[in-house]
Amino acid sequence: MTNPIATDDAPLLVAEGLSKNYGARIGCRDVSLEIFPGEVLAVVGESGSGKSTLLGLLSTELAPSAGRVSYRLREGRLADLSTLGPAEKRLLMRTDWGFVRQNPAEGLRMAVSAGGNVGERLMAVGWRHYGQIREEASDWLGQVEIDADRIDDDPRAFSGGMRQRLQIARNLVTRPRLVFMDEPTGGLDVSVQARLLDLIRSLVAKMGLAVIIVTHDLAVARLLSHRMVVMRHGRVIETGLTDQVLDDPREPYTQLLVSSVLAA
């Protein structure tokens, strides 16, 4: 592949022929996709469909058995992520990328204060003035609807929904261009889910983020995403605009997923 300089309609991330094998078991097979700046892409499917494996491959947390992932760096070059060194990948994760995990305890430093969790990411990109870091952390707590007077509280004292809000603040404070989300509302009460989804949708739109979100919940996909990828047995079986796929699914498996939600 050549490395063209970005244009307004150039993809931000490109996956080509991604596969991942776990011995005899196939986690993901021959997946190709693109995501563009400001676009939200939902990856949906039942448990075991391969969607979490795909997210791991796209975020470079898993090494592919075949295929590659390329990312358009800020200078416009489309770089094969497998050619980046460890330091370059760490910098990418601290600046251009965020990762919101289903279990916020995996994405937070649980023994560090709420403000410290947000401030750490700022320090990783070069912030050094304590007062400015604390002020920015306080501002971001407000943006995710956490009271500023809880800035010194330990995340272990927060509810699940509050921890997820804190994890979002920690990831977005460096204003990344691409955010990976793995079932961000999973395990939360319905009312908490609804408020969190409204917050995510608002922040994503305001910041113009590109997001790849893995979810088994088609309602989450409809609310947040522009485009949708449906996976089964490690393969992408259907893709298209979210409303189009959900309102007029082409594949029998997608039809079954949609009908099961309508029947619930």
Measured in residues, the chain has a length of: 264
Q: Look up tokens 């975020």; give the residue.
A: 59
Q: Look up tokens 């804190």; give the residue.
A: 166
pLDDT at 263: 56
pLDDT at 94: 87
CB 98 within 8 A of CB 169: no
What would the pLDDT profile of 68-82 be if each residue is shown by its tens digit? 999 999 889 999 999
Tokens of 139: 């501002």
Q: Has residue 4 got a pLDDT over 50?
A: no
What would the pLDDT profile of 153-171 be if each residue is shown by its tens digit? 999 999 999 999 999 999 9
Q: Please give the share of the chain, as a percent, with pLDDT higher than 90.
A: 83
CB 122 within 8 A of CB 133: yes
Identify the DSSP state of 5: P
C-alpha 3 chain-centroid distance: 25
Give backbone dihedrals phi and psi of 117, rounded to 5 degrees, phi first: -60, -40
pTM (2 d.p.)? 0.93
CB 225 within 8 A of CB 213: yes
What would the pLDDT profile of 206-261 be if each residue is shown by its tens digit? 999 999 999 999 999 999 999 999 999 999 999 999 999 999 999 999 999 999 87
Q: Has residue 52 got a pLDDT over 90?
A: yes
pLDDT at 142: 96
